[in-house]
């Protein structure tokens, strides 16, 4: 009985210390140290908050060139998913820079994000498709 009470007391004591462990801290999708060798997926609202509140990021549209030309998020650059392979990407020279990735519906942006991580990019954040984009779009090259 004493052993049971001691074990119960010890478990309760350790449970009360849970907030001190680093794995209890909230994650930050823009922190490359927290991505664990993969990309992060965030909501459209979270992407908008990043775009409104931060600088130094890239908005990457991975649709085809003709889709990009028809309309894209202002400030986005276009590197089609199909062109992301095993080689360097001149448009994305800094592998630690925050890159916000989108496509039309969210499928190609997930594929492209996986490929970018495999190429060594450490700060990839995928936020879905332009179909759900509530902001303006601009036609482009």
Give me the active site residues, please.
Answer: 103
| Chain position carrying tokens 């794995």 | 23
Phi/psi for 100 (5° steps) reads -95, 115
C-alpha to C-alpha distance for 8 and 130, rounded to whole angstroms: 53
Taking 3-state DSSP, the helix, strand and coil percentages for the chain, each rounded to the nearest 5, stand at 40, 15, 45
- 46-53, Cβ contacts within 8 angstroms, sequence gap of 24 or more: 46/127, 47/100, 47/102, 47/125, 47/127, 47/128, 48/134, 48/135, 50/98, 50/100, 50/125, 51/100
Radius of gyration for the alpha carbons in the chain, expressed in angstroms and rounded: 20
């Amino acid at each position: 009985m004493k052993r049971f009470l001691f074990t119960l007391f010890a478990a309760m004591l350790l449970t009360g210390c849970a907030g001190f462990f680093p794995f209890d801290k909230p994650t930050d999708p823009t922190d490359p140290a927290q991505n664990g060798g993969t990309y992060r997926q965030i909501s459209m609202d979270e992407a908008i908050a990043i775009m409104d509140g931060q600088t130094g990021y890239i908005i990457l549209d991975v649709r085809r060139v003709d889709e990009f030309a028809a309309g894209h998020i202002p400030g986005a650059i276009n590197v089609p998913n199909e062109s992301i392979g095993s080689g360097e990407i001149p448009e994305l020279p800094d592998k630690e820079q925050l890159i916000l990735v989108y496509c039309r519906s969210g499928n190609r942006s997930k594929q492209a994000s996986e490929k970018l991580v495999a190429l060594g990019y450490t700060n990839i954040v995928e936020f879905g498709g332009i179909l759900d984009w509530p902001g303006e779009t601009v036609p482009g090259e």
